[in-house]
């Protein structure tokens, strides 16, 4: 019988870049003509946001944010090493990297024997290049995959009514997209090597809010397909856990994403995330009853800018009945999204 260790974490770019760059998204929003003039004045920000900004533009807060999360990732890595998995399955999203207008599947299993990855690639979204390890930004590494398990999971999901896609090569991307790459990088914070085979599992978190390049948009009415609903993500994760449990494999299952994103939270004029909604998710984790995430509506998710939480909802389904241990939680108004690292005990 198989065994599963669960991990929830973030792939947000911030902590791999320098302190002075971590609030670049906020700085860009403050320069935007669409940001109301009164919100460009810190005096009109929430008190906690002003305190985080401080008198140094958030530099000290950046150091604390990174240190908090690095401790969580190191603890999660220790749990993975102790567990000794045969493979690591990662639920992650695609942001117009591998899937574009020719095909945008709701779910896709990557059945690759190995994958090129660029762990120190600059972040266009953050507007940052230099990394905390001072590694060359054009570094390319090879990440091992587990094609056998990926094909087995795909076959059994389809037989059980989950119409997932399966990819044996990249579509548009030249290397593994950032949701999976940064998950691996952060679980290898000390650059000792992460040689566990991975199965990237794409979830279309952005749905109709996918940011399609203007030059790619077809003429006339157009909207990308919607995201799968939370209940479908939860049920899919639960089914995957059943498949792995009936197999001979030991697997780590990871849900990778931050929660509310400032850049997706319209009600705050894209200046800061929905911290209150994130606190609600954290309280639900502490309660151990994550089945409530199955009932999250598309409207709730959109209103709070929590699009990417669908990756965690897949994990929650896989971990049904288990209470996780919170390794770290870094709440923020400045760095686009609050981030958590949790581990679910093996079973």
Do residues 47 and 219 make contact, with C-beta atoms less than 8 angstroms apart?
Answer: no
Identify which of 339, 335, 334, 347 has the alpha carbon closest to the alpha carbon of residue 311.
339
DSSP strand pairing (87-92 vs 250-256): parallel
Integer Cα distance of 102 and 116 in angstroms: 23
pLDDT digits (tens, 9 = 90+) for 109-138: 999 999 999 999 999 999 999 999 999 999
Identify which of 172, 104, 95, 99 has the alpha carbon closest to the alpha carbon of residue 126.
95
In a domain? residue 347? no
Identify which of 303, 297, 298, 294 has the alpha carbon closest to the alpha carbon of residue 226.
298
State which residues form the domain around 166. 3-213+221-338
pLDDT digits (tens, 9 = 90+) for 175-230: 999 999 999 999 999 999 999 999 999 999 999 999 999 999 999 999 999 999 99
**pTM of structure:** 0.98
How many C-beta atoms lie closer than 10 Å to residue 116's C-beta? 15
What does the pLDDT profile of the chain (347 residues) look like in tens digits? 899 999 999 999 999 999 999 999 999 999 999 999 999 999 999 999 999 999 999 999 999 999 999 999 999 999 999 999 999 999 999 999 999 999 999 999 999 999 999 999 999 999 999 999 999 999 999 999 999 999 999 999 999 999 999 999 999 999 999 999 999 999 999 999 999 999 999 999 999 999 999 999 999 999 999 999 999 999 999 999 999 999 999 999 999 999 999 999 999 999 999 999 999 999 999 999 899 999 999 999 999 999 999 999 999 999 999 999 999 999 999 999 999 999 999 98
In a domain? residue 345? no
b/e for 206-223, b at 16 or more Cβ within 10 A?
Answer: bbeebebeeeeeeeeeee
DSSP strand pairing (87-92 vs 198-203): parallel
Phi, psi values for residue 185, rounded to 5°: -60, -45
In a domain? residue 23? yes
Do residues 180 and 92 make contact, with C-beta atoms less than 8 angstroms apart?
Answer: yes
In a domain? residue 136? yes
In a domain? residue 203? yes
Identify which of 151, 181, 178, 180 has the alpha carbon closest to the alpha carbon of residue 166.
151
Domains identified in the chain, total number: 1
In a domain? residue 158? yes
In a domain? residue 144? yes
In a domain? residue 58? yes
Extract the tokens encoding 149.
């398990």
DSSP strand pairing (87-92 vs 165-167): unpaired
Which of the 8 DSSP states describes residue 218? P
Q: What is the CATH number of the domain that holds 33?
A: 3.40.830.10
How many C-beta atoms lie closer than 10 Å to residue 322's C-beta? 18
Integer Cα distance of 68 and 197 in angstroms: 27
DSSP strand pairing (198-203 vs 141-144): unpaired
Integer Cα distance of 68 and 45 in angstroms: 24
């Amino acid at each position: 019988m198989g065994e599963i260790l669960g991990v929830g974490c973030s792939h947000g770019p911030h902590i791999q870049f320098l302190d002075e760059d971590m609030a670049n998204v906020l700085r860009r929003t403050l320069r935007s003509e669409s940001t109301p003039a009164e919100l460009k004045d810190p005096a009109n920000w929430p008190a906690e946001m002003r305190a985080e900004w401080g008198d140094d533009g958030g530099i000290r807060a950046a150091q604390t944010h990174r240190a908090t999360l690095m401790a969580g990732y190191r603890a999660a890595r220790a749990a993975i090493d102790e567990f000794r998995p045969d493979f690591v399955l990662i639920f992650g999203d695609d942001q117009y990297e591998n899937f574009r207008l020719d095909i945008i599947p709701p779910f896709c299993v990557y059945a690759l024997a190995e994958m090129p990855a660029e762990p120190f690639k600059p972040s266009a979204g953050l507007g940052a290049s230099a990394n905390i390890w001072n590694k060359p930004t054009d570094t390319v590494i090879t990440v091992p995959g587990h094609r056998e398990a990926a094909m087995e999971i795909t076959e059994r999901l389809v037989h059980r009514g989950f119409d997932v896609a399966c990819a044996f090569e990249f579509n548009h991307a030249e290397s593994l997209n950032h949701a999976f790459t940064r998950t691996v990088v952060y679980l290898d914070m000390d650059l000792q090597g992460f040689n566990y085979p991975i199965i990237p599992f794409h979830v279309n978190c952005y749905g109709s809010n996918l940011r399609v390049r203007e030059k790619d948009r077809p003429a006339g009415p157009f909207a990308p397909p919607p995201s799968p609903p939370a209940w479908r993500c939860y049920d899919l994760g639960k089914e995957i856990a059943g498949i792995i449990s009936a197999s001979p494999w030991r697997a780590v299952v990871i849900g990778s994403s931050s929660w509310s994103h400032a850049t997706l939270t319209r009600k705050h004029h894209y200046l800061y995330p929905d911290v209150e909604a994130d606190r609600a998710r954290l309280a639900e984790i502490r309660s151990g009853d994550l089945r409530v995430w199955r009932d999250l509506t598309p409207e709730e998710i959109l209103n709070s800018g929590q699009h990417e939480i669908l990756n965690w909802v897949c994990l929650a389904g896989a971990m049904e009945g288990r209470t996780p241990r919170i390794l770290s939680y870094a709440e923020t108004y400045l760095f686009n999204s609050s981030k958590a690292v949790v581990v679910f005990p093996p079973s």
